[in-house]
Chains A and B, each alone.
Chain A
Amino acid sequence: MRHDSQHDNHNLGRFRLSVSATPDAKLSTGERRLQDALAIEAAKRSEAESKLVTAAHREATPRHAELEKLIADKENELNSNRKGLPKVMVMEDMEKKRKTYILDIGVYNKRGKEVEIGTPAALPAFSKDLPQNRLGLAQWLTNGENPLTARVTVNRFWQQLFGIGLIKSPENFGVQSEVPIHPRLLDWLAVEFQESGWDVKQLIRTLVNSHTYRQSSRVSPDLLEADPTNRLLARGARYRMPAWMIRDQALSASGLLVDKKGGAPVNSYQPEGIWAEATFGKKRYSRGKGDDLYRRSIYSFWRRIAAPPMFFDNPGRETCSVTISLTNTPLHALSTLNDTTYVEAARALANRAASSAGKNGKPATQIAHAFQLVVARNPSEQEQEILENIYNRAQLRFTSDPGAAANFLKNGESPRNSELPEPQHAALATVCLGILNLDEALTKE
């Protein structure tokens, strides 16, 4: 026997050992006490004695046990139903406001002056008429007198469509930010947005219908020299899409996308062992099944210590970061060339293109269909020739190595559902993987 507490002074109090030959012997020696209690007149029993008698009575009456079990079962059912309900976090103010202080150089226990609710002096004042809480803050933020909220919001949507905001620093509209490139446009859009009742759809419609947005993104050498980053918008925007969008596009073009709204997050494809490595095996990733693999990127489950690796350009989420990361590294290319998501999408895209080309459709037609599905135009003659070349070479290789064709078509969980023979399907899927990796496919233009 070993005393294993970390605390020296914690000792066992009364130590007792009991021995019995009965397999399920109870520790209690209640029998005797029960007999004594029963001997006493009911009205004269002490509280403890009454309890003892009641308990014994219950134990001895089967109907009682039945009822008790029924109650317990119903309670369990109620509880498990309650547990099944989704939980929603609700924020509310404390009944009594907590006192808040300026902390001396931020040290949590060095309290300085007590402070009240308010906004920085440089910003519009926080009226005493507003509720002095979060609701008041929301009203202040969206008050027509406060230009900042609408400007910031409009600028972010602009950035989303044009790759770069009217103000380059979407997270900073302070004195240290860039001066907006078209200040009057920004203000006009901001006021329109407010007056439309903060209608995002309408804002986006205004932006995408504009002449500026609809310009061609071709770059002439003169334009390139005059405005290399296209701040002045003399040409249409052209930039690599974020990783989450590239994934959504591949799912959509291939027809794999499950366009279901809402619900719990899903676990799509990721290489094995990432969670386990980060947690010494304590957490293991369990990949979803069926529809879960093909939901939009926005529904992906996000473990903060090990973010989904397919979103190769996403910030770490420790600090709020709203700028788009547009750089390209070889690692990004590896992801869109080799990740199961894209290889499977290529296979499904091939299947889709083949069916839309009809039963007797030629490879050339199938290829053109696939190209059209991804980049929304027909390939030029020269492009068509190169794509057919990919097909022909791949088909030769896959015909001579049917095992490779079968393996290539096994990437991803969705069943292969095609009337094409394996080598032809694999060859077309190879072309599709190429199409999904074209600059034009990865880029918004």
Chain B
Amino acid sequence: MNPLTQHQLNINRRHFFGKSATGIGTAALSTLLGKEGLSANPQGNDKIPDYIRQIAPKAKRVIYLFQNGAPTHCDLWDYKPKLKELHNTPVPESYVGGKRFSTMTGNANGKLLLAPVEPFKQYGQSGAWVSDFMPHIGGIADKVCFVKSMHTDAVNHAPGISFFMSGAELPGRPTMGAWLSYGLGTMNDNLPAFVVMTSVSKGTTCGQIFYDFYWGSGFLPTRHQGVKFRPASDPVLYLSNPDGMSKPMRRELLDDIGRLNEMKHQDYGDPEIATRIAQYEMAYRMQTSVPELADISDEPQEVLDLYGPGVHESGTFARNALLARRLAERGTQFIQLMHAGWDQHRSLTTELYTQCKDTDQPSAGLIRDLEQRGMLDETLVIWGGEFGRTPFLQGNMKDRKGWGRDHHPYAFTTWMAGGGVKPGITHGASDDIGFNAVHDKVHVHDFQATVLHLLGIDHEQLTFKFQGRHFRLTDVHGKVVKDIVS
């Protein structure tokens, strides 16, 4: 940090936080940060209340690399030799059994099975099969836990993503990050507890948009909603001083606003005024800490190389992955990256390559980077989409360029690494063509319960009362998948 800025900050910390006699001290900060959250207590703001703390936390934070549009488990993760054998033959009826599909597919009976587009290889000591689409992630297979028996209720994108994030297909429930902000408070005064960054592959034809309820706070207080970091010059809305107002001038103005507020505080005695003073001070610090966070010029070349060439361009998945690590270092607890464009209805042999290139190296790079810094153990990284894709073809078998797969909720793969998850394992399995999850099935609610468990939270205890009912992320469902917890 610029020494001058540091000096200015120090003067102000002394000015505002050193005066415990006037009542404006850490107490004010804790009201500001913890108020309305479960952790509202005068002692601090990062304490989990006893009744939701059942288990010692294995992870301190989550980086969720969410892949919007549903990546094809058949072509990327879930290796099924039988699918190759049965290529171009109708899907046996025993697999379909009256299941519901998107309106594009309608009835799945008679649809032709499609072999994976690229071959698979085994990696590492664990011998995990990973497609040639994802060589970098293959390279870290021994650090990864693949869950190959995921299944969900939703068949379309927005309800599917909403279901993963909030536990309900309809928009309006609090999302996972909001629940954690509510349950755990914040670890860093200068940065939000829940940050979201979005990206999309170049040239994709996908039409899914980023609804803000994917990181909404639902009926929890608005302060728990994800703060979106943007690739624009202002990573956070309204971060920059207005045109014509220099930094020293802003500092002076804030000092004077602070003085006037303090006089008001003396006169009125309302502790909220002390909160206001702290709030403005934090805003000023955020004006420094956010640009500092977004400025990657201090990253050595070998670190940048981990994330691949995309890292040099702002707004890419690679850049966002690097920023995610920088946020994790600074104490942000839930970092949600959303990368769109995985909806390969007719682009398995075209757009899927770009899509994988955009995400493969940065995802693997993030894991390696975290590990090098000794942060992987306490950071849970999750990679996955809202559902999988059909083992059968969507399109015309003769037109290889237009091959695609439709939405498929009955089996798909999500992988996790670090944060208390067993490395180098595969949990659960789908049947021999990747159609239905059959062994150790993991429902979305089970997945959510497990994530909360890894953070030391009992998913049945983290509740919020709204309209006469106690709501939770997992609704009335969810079983912790103990087998993957280290």
Contacts of B213 in A (CB 8 A): 305, 316, 318
Q: Which one of A282, A319, A329, A405 contacts B218 once the chains associate, using CB atoms below 8 Å?
A: A319
Report the bound CA distance from A282 to B204 in whole Å: 13
A410 adjacent to chain B (CB < 8 Å): yes
- A443 near B236: Cβ-Cβ < 8 Å: no
- A329 near B223: Cβ-Cβ < 8 Å: yes
Chain A 307-348: CB-based contact to B (< 8 A → 1; otherwise 0): 101001111101101000101111111110111100100000
By beta carbon, the residue of chain B nearest A342 is: B242
Contacts of A408 in B (CB 8 A): 242-245
- Shortest C-beta distance, A11 to chain B (Å), equals 13
Q: 3 closest pairs, A vs B, by CB?
A: A408-B244, A318-B172, A407-B244
Report the bound CA distance from A281 to B232 in whole Å: 14
- A394 near B172: Cβ-Cβ < 8 Å: no
Chain A 275-316: CB-based contact to B (< 8 A → 1; otherwise 0): 001111010000000000000000000000111010011111
Which parts of B221-268 form the interface with A (CB within 8 Å)? 221-223, 225, 227, 230, 232, 234, 236-246, 248-250, 252-253, 256-257, 259-261, 263-265, 267-268
Contacts of A389 in B (CB 8 A): 256
B216 adjacent to chain A (CB < 8 Å): yes
A209 adjacent to chain B (CB < 8 Å): no
A434 adjacent to chain B (CB < 8 Å): yes
Contacts of A315 in B (CB 8 A): 217, 219, 222
Contacts of A172 in B (CB 8 A): 467-468
- B243 near A407: Cβ-Cβ < 8 Å: yes
Contacts of B264 in A (CB 8 A): 438-440
- A240 near B272: Cβ-Cβ < 8 Å: yes
**How many CB-defined contacts (below 8 Å) exist between A and B?**
212
A203 adjacent to chain B (CB < 8 Å): no
- B244 near A6: Cβ-Cβ < 8 Å: no
Q: Which one of B221, B248, B268 contacts A218 once the chains associate, using CB atoms below 8 Å?
A: B268
Q: Which one of B32, B216, B240, B269 contacts A221 once the chains associate, using CB atoms below 8 Å?
A: B269
A406 adjacent to chain B (CB < 8 Å): yes
Q: Which one of A175, A305, A314, A335 contacts B222 once the chains associate, using CB atoms below 8 Å?
A: A314
B330 adjacent to chain A (CB < 8 Å): no
Residues of A in contact with B (beta carbons under 8 Å apart)? 6, 8, 171-172, 174-177, 217-221, 224, 238-240, 271-273, 277-280, 282, 305-307, 309, 312-316, 318-319, 321, 325, 327-335, 337-340, 343, 380, 382-383, 386-387, 389-390, 393-394, 397, 401, 404-411, 426, 430, 433-434, 437-440, 442-443, 445
Subset of 14 A-B contacts with CB under 8 Å: A217-B268, A219-B268, A305-B209, A316-B171, A321-B219, A327-B36, A330-B282, A334-B283, A338-B238, A389-B256, A390-B252, A394-B249, A437-B257, A439-B261
- A325 near B282: Cβ-Cβ < 8 Å: no
B276 adjacent to chain A (CB < 8 Å): yes
- Shortest C-beta distance, B102 to chain A (Å), equals 14
By beta carbon, the residue of chain B nearest A411 is: B242
Contacts of A8 in B (CB 8 A): 396
Contact status of A280 and B238, CB under 8 A, knowing A327-B223, A404-B244: no
- A313 near B222: Cβ-Cβ < 8 Å: yes
- A277 near B260: Cβ-Cβ < 8 Å: no
Contacts of B200 in A (CB 8 A): 280
B280 adjacent to chain A (CB < 8 Å): yes
Report the bound CA distance from A439 to B258 in whole Å: 9
Report the bound CA distance from A440 to B225 in whole Å: 27
Contacts of B276 in A (CB 8 A): 328, 439, 442-443
By beta carbon, the residue of chain B nearest A303 is: B212
- A331 near B227: Cβ-Cβ < 8 Å: yes
Q: Which one of B35, B234, B241, B280 contacts A271 once the chains associate, using CB atoms below 8 Å?
A: B234
- Shortest C-beta distance, B88 to chain A (Å), equals 13
Q: Which one of B232, B242, B261, B346 contacts A273 once the chains associate, using CB atoms below 8 Å?
A: B232
Contact status of A410 and B275, CB under 8 A, knowing A318-B172, A333-B283: no
By beta carbon, the residue of chain A nearest B280 is: A333
Contacts of A329 in B (CB 8 A): 32, 192, 223, 279
Q: Which one of B170, B239, B269, B280 contacts A219 once the chains associate, using CB atoms below 8 Å?
A: B269
- Shortest C-beta distance, A327 to chain B (Å), equals 5
- A273 near B230: Cβ-Cβ < 8 Å: yes
Q: Counting chain A CB atoms within 10 Å of each CB, which of B36, B263, B283 scores highest?
A: B283
Contacts of B139 in A (CB 8 A): none
- A319 near B261: Cβ-Cβ < 8 Å: no
- Shortest C-beta distance, A247 to chain B (Å), equals 13
Contacts of B239 in A (CB 8 A): 334, 338
Contact status of A319 and B219, CB under 8 A, knowing A277-B230, A407-B244: yes
- B252 near A330: Cβ-Cβ < 8 Å: no
Which parts of B182-225 form the interface with A (CB within 8 Å)? 192, 198, 200, 207, 209-213, 216-219, 221-223, 225
B92 adjacent to chain A (CB < 8 Å): no
Q: Which one of A219, A278, A325 contacts B210 once the chains associate, using CB atoms below 8 Å?
A: A278
Q: Which one of A332, A407, A438 contacts B261 once the chains associate, using CB atoms below 8 Å?
A: A438
B273 adjacent to chain A (CB < 8 Å): yes
B456 adjacent to chain A (CB < 8 Å): no
Report the bound CA distance from A307 to B94 in whole Å: 47
Report the bound CA distance from A174 to B267 in whole Å: 40
Report the bound CA distance from A442 to B223 in whole Å: 17
B270 adjacent to chain A (CB < 8 Å): yes
Contacts of A406 in B (CB 8 A): 244
Contacts of A332 in B (CB 8 A): 279
By beta carbon, the residue of chain A nearest B404 is: A6
Contact status of A383 and B467, CB under 8 A, knowing A271-B238, A280-B340: no
Contacts of B171 in A (CB 8 A): 316, 318
B271 adjacent to chain A (CB < 8 Å): yes
Which parts of B267-314 form the interface with A (CB within 8 Å)? 267-273, 275-277, 279-280, 282-283, 285-287
Contacts of B248 in A (CB 8 A): 397
- Shortest C-beta distance, B173 to chain A (Å), equals 8
- Shortest C-beta distance, A109 to chain B (Å), equals 10
- B468 near A312: Cβ-Cβ < 8 Å: no
By beta carbon, the residue of chain A nearest B469 is: A176
- A340 near B252: Cβ-Cβ < 8 Å: no
Contacts of B331 in A (CB 8 A): none
By beta carbon, the residue of chain A nearest B190 is: A330
Contacts of B173 in A (CB 8 A): 319
B395 adjacent to chain A (CB < 8 Å): yes
Contact status of A386 and B259, CB under 8 A, knowing A271-B234, A329-B279, A338-B239: yes
- Shortest C-beta distance, A405 to chain B (Å), equals 7
Q: Which one of B192, B227, B250, B396 contacts A6 once the chains associate, using CB atoms below 8 Å?
A: B396
Chain B 85-99: CB-based contact to A (< 8 A → 1; otherwise 0): 000000000000000
By beta carbon, the residue of chain A nearest B262 is: A439
- Shortest C-beta distance, B358 to chain A (Å), equals 15
- A434 near B244: Cβ-Cβ < 8 Å: no
